[in-house]
C-alpha cells in the first residue's frame, strides 16, 4: 500500500512539473509571435532601404564587360545628301549604368534626288552643300533603364535603354564646284570637331549577344563654298552650322 502511494505521489509531482514547464514555454512563444506593425509600416513606406535594390540580380549583366558592335543605317535629315552609314563601336561598362565607347561611322554621302532634279532642270542652278564622309567619336554611355517584356506569351525578353554623349571629329567633302546631271562634284576633304548626343536601346538574346538601335545627333560647323555663276561672283567660304542625324541598327557581342 505504501509502495502504491509513493508511486502515485511521484507521478503527480512529474505531471505538475511538466504542466508548469509547458505553460512557461507557451508564454514565451506567444510573446515572440508578437509583430511590430509600426516597424513594418515604416519599412514599407521608407524612401530608401540601403539593404534592398529594385533589381538585385540582372539576368544579363553588363558590368565589367567589354563589347563590340557592328551597325548600319541611314542619314535621315540632310536636305541635299543621301547616305547609308555603317561602322563599329567598341566599349567597356564600368558598372551596369556607366561606360565608355569609341565609335566610327563611314557615310560616303552622295547627292540626293533633290539636287539631281535641280541639275536635270538647269545646270546653272545648284544649292550650296557639302557631303559628310565619316565620323569618329569618343562617348560616355549612361543606361538607367532596364526592363523585361513578354513576347507572344512564349518567352521573356530583356532590354535596356540609355544615352550617349561625346566629342569627336567629322570628315566631310567640301564641294568646290557642283557637278551637273552627268558630271561629278569637284571637292576637297575637310575635318571639323563635333559634339554628339544619342539615344540607344539594346535587346538581349543571350548574355553575350544583343541587338542594338541607335539614334545619334552630331553637331558641328562646316565651311561651305557658295555657288558661283554669272549672277553670283561670291568667293571664299561661309560657315554653316550642321546637325547630322543618323539611325543605325546592328548587333553587339559582350565578353564573358
| Among 83, 89, 82, 85, CA closest to 72 | 85
- Measured CA to CA in angstroms, residue 184 lies from 117, 181, 190 at distances of 14, 8, 18
**Residue pLDDT tens, the chain, 256 long:** 555 555 555 566 566 665 555 555 555 445 455 667 777 667 666 655 555 455 556 778 899 999 999 999 999 999 889 999 999 999 999 999 999 999 999 998 998 888 887 777 765 567 888 999 999 999 999 999 988 888 787 788 888 999 999 999 999 999 887 776 667 778 889 999 999 999 999 999 998 999 999 999 999 999 998 866 544 445 678 899 999 999 999 999 999 8
Q: Which three cell numbers stand for residue 228?
A: 558661283
Q: What is the value of pTM for the model shown? A: 0.72
Domains of the chain with CATH codes? 65-254 (2.40.160.20)
CA 49 to chain centre: 27
DSSP 3-state of 57: coil
CA–CA distance, 161 with 184 (Å, rounded to integer): 42
For 228, the enclosing helix (H) or strand (E) is none
Amino acid at each position: 500500500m505504501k509502495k502504491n502511494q509513493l508511486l502515485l505521489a511521484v507521478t503527480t509531482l512529474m505531471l505538475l512539473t511538466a504542466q508548469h514547464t509547458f505553460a512557461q514555454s507557451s508564454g514565451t512563444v506567444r510573446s515572440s509571435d508578437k509583430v511590430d506593425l509600426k516597424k513594418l509600416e515604416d519599412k514599407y513606406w521608407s524612401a530608401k532601404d540601403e539593404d534592398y535594390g529594385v533589381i538585385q540580380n540582372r539576368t544579363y549583366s553588363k558590368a565589367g564587360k567589354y563589347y563590340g558592335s557592328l551597325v548600319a543605317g541611314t542619314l535621315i535629315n540632310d536636305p541635299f545628301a543621301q547616305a547609308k552609314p555603317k561602322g563599329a563601336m567598341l566599349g567597356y561598362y564600368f558598372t551596369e549604368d556607366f561606360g565608355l565607347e569609341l565609335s566610327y561611322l563611314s557615310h560616303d554621302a552622295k547627292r540626293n534626288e533633290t539636287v539631281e532634279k535641280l541639275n536635270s532642270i538647269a545646270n546653272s542652278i545648284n544649292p550650296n552643300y557639302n557631303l559628310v564622309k565619316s565620323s569618329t567619336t569618343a562617348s560616355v554611355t549612361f543606361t538607367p533603364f532596364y526592363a523585361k517584356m513578354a513576347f507572344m506569351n512564349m518567352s521573356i525578353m530583356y532590354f535596356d535603354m540609355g544615352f550617349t554623349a561625346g566629342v569627336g571629329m567629322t570628315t566631310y567633302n567640301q564641294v568646290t564646284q557642283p557637278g551637273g546631271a552627268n558630271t561629278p562634284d569637284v571637292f576637297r576633304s575637310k575635318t571639323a570637331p563635333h559634339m554628339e548626343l544619342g539615344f540607344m536601346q539594346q535587346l538581349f538574346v543571350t548574355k553575350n549577344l544583343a541587338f542594338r538601335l541607335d539614334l545619334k545627333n552630331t553637331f558641328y560647323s562646316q565651311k561651305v563654298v557658295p555657288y558661283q555663276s554669272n549672277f553670283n561672283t561670291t568667293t571664299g567660304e561661309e560657315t554653316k552650322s550642321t546637325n547630322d542625324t543618323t539611325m543605325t541598327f546592328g548587333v553587339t557581342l559582350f565578353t564573358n
